[in-house]
C-alpha cells in the first residue's frame, strides 16, 4: 500500500488488513487468548509459526493483530513499561484494568500522529480480587471490557458462535472448546486458510501455552 507525501509530511494509509484472527474467552478463574500463527503481507506468506499472544506481565497476555512492525513494536513497548512500573513500585503488580487503560492511552496519543495499527485482546488475572478480565482494544483506542471477543474478519463468523456458547461460570476446558468451535468455523467458511493457532491460558498460576499448531520456538 502506498506511502504518500502531502505538504511535506508523511502520511500512510491503513495497512491493517484484518486478516489476523485473535480470540478471547473469559471463564471462571481465568482467560483464554488465542491467535492464528500466520505472518503474511499482500501475496507473501512469511511464516506460519508466529506467536501473536505476547505475555505482558506474569499474569496477563496480549493477543495482538496487525502489521508485524506495529505488532512487535507496540507489544514490546507496553511490556517494558509494565516491567518498569513493577520495578519502580517495589514489585506491585499493575492490574489488568490499569494495563488496558495504559495501552489505550498510548494508542490514543499516537492516533493523530502515527497510529499503531494494532487490534488487541488483553486477558489478565488479578490476584487481589481473584478474578480474571478480558479487554477489547482496537487501533482507534476503543476500549471495552468484555466476556468474549474477536479481532479481524473472524469476528464476522465467530462472534455469533461465542454469543451462543458463552455463559457465566465456564471452566477452562469449556472456554478452550468455544475457541476451537470458532476455529472450526473459520476452517470451513473463511477464505484465508489459517492452519495454525496458538492458544494460551491466563489464570492464578500465570500465563501458559495450552496448545499450538506450529512451535513458535525460533521466532
Partner 1 sequence: MSYDRAITVFSPDGHLFQVEYAMEAVRKGSTAVGVRGKDCVVLAVERRALAKLQDPRTIRKIVSVDNRSVLAFAGLTADARVLINKTRVEAQSYRLTCEDAPSVEYLARYIARTQQKYTQRGGVRPFGIATLLAGFSDPSAEGDVAKPVLYQTDPAGTHSNWRAQVIGGRNAKSLREFLEKNYEDDMDEETSVKLAVQCLLEVVDSGAKNMEIMIVRADGRAFMEESAVDVVVKKVEEEIEANKDAKKKSTDE
List contacts with partner 1 (CB under 8 A): 76-77, 80-81, 83-84, 87-88, 90-91
Nearer to partner 1, 84 or 111 (CB): 84
Q: Which residues pair with 179 in a beta bridge?
A: none
- Whole-number minimum distance, CB 85 to partner 1, in Å? 10
Beta strands (DSSP E) in 7-115 are 9-12, 22-27, 30-36, 39-41, 44-47, 53-57, 60-65
Collapsed DSSP state (helix, strand, coil) of residue 104: helix
192 CB-side CA count, 13 A = 22
- Whole-number minimum distance, CB 90 to partner 1, in Å? 7
Nearer to partner 1, 42 or 88 (CB): 88
- Whole-number minimum distance, CB 82 to partner 1, in Å? 10
Nearer to partner 1, 88 or 188 (CB): 88
The C-alpha atoms of residue 120 and residue 180 are separated, in whole angstroms, by 19
Nearer to partner 1, 83 or 193 (CB): 83
Q: Which residues pair with 132 in a beta bridge?
A: 125
- Whole-number minimum distance, CB 77 to partner 1, in Å? 7
Amino acid at each position: 500500500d502506498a506511502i504518500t507525501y502531502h505538504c511535506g509530511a508523511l502520511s500512510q494509509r491503513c495497512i491493517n488488513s484484518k486478516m489476523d484472527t485473535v480470540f478471547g474467552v473469559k471463564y471462571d478463574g481465568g482467560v483464554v487468548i488465542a491467535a492464528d500463527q500466520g505472518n503474511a503481507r499482500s501475496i507473501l506468506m512469511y511464516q506460519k509459526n508466529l506467536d501473536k499472544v505476547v505475555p505482558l506481565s506474569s499474569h496477563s497476555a496480549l493477543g495482538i493483530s496487525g502489521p508485524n512492525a506495529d505488532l512487535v513494536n507496540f507489544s514490546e513497548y507496553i511490556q517494558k513499561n509494565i516491567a518498569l512500573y513493577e520495578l519502580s513500585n517495589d514489585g506491585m503488580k499493575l492490574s489488568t484494568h490499569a494495563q488496558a487503560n495504559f495501552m489505550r492511552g498510548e494508542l490514543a496519543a499516537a492516533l493523530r500522529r502515527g497510529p499503531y495499527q494494532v487490534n488487541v485482546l488483553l486477558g489478565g488475572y488479578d490476584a487481589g480480587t481473584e478474578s480474571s478480565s478480558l479487554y477489547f482494544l482496537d487501533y482507534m483506542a476503543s476500549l471495552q471490557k468484555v466476556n468474549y471477543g474477536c479481532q479481524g474478519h473472524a469476528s464476522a463468523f465467530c462472534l455469533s458462535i461465542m454469543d451462543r456458547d458463552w455463559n457465566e461460570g465456564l471452566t477452562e476446558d469449556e472456554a478452550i472448546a468455544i475457541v476451537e468451535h470458532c476455529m472450526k468455523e473459520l476452517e470451513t467458511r473463511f477464505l484465508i486458510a489459517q492452519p495454525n493457532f496458538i492458544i494460551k491460558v491466563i489464570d492464578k498460576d500465570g500465563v501458559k501455552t495450552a496448545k499450538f499448531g506450529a512451535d513458535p520456538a525460533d521466532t
